[in-house]
């Protein structure tokens, strides 16, 4: 019997951010992604804490194989460069 591994909060947020970016054409400002992920989580009845923005930025950085800053470091725009498997 194999147990299904639950994604970490950062992985779950990274997947949500990828979904949001894909729906927005592939890239968007960080604040737009945060707002959309918050709305998505509320729709699913999941908690949205005050640290959501910080966690999403951490997820962008942790899952750098999925996301990039198309205008370079210091930019607040993020792009989806690969879809999560």
Ordered by start, the domain boundaries in the chain are: 9-79
**Two structure tokens written together for 58:** 């951490």
Sequence-ordered list of residues with C-beta below 8 angstroms from that of 49, at least 6 positions apart, any chain: none
pTM: predicted TM-score of the whole model, two decimal places: 0.90
Please report, in tens digits, the pLDDT of each residue of the chain (85 residues total).
445 677 799 999 999 999 999 999 999 999 999 999 999 999 999 999 999 999 999 999 999 999 999 999 999 999 999 988 8
Question: Chain-centre distance of CA 74, in angstroms?
Answer: 18
What CATH class does 9-79 carry?
A: mainly alpha
Alpha-carbon span 26 to 18, nearest angstrom: 8
- The residue assigned the tokens 């607040």 is 76
Q: How far apart are CA 54 and CA 13, in angstroms?
A: 11
- In whole angstroms, give the CA distance from residue 13 to residue 7: 9
């Amino acid at each position: 019997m194999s147990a299904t591994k639950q994604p970490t909060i950062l992985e779950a947020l990274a997947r949500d951010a990828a979904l949001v970016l894909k729906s927005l054409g592939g890239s968007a400002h960080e604040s737009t992604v945060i707002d959309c992920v918050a709305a998505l989580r509320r729709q699913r009845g999941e908690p949205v804490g005050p640290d959501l923005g910080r966690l999403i930025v951490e997820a962008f950085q942790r899952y750098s194989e999925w996301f990039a800053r198309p205008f370079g470091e210091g930019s607040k725009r993020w792009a989806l460069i690969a879809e999560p498997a």
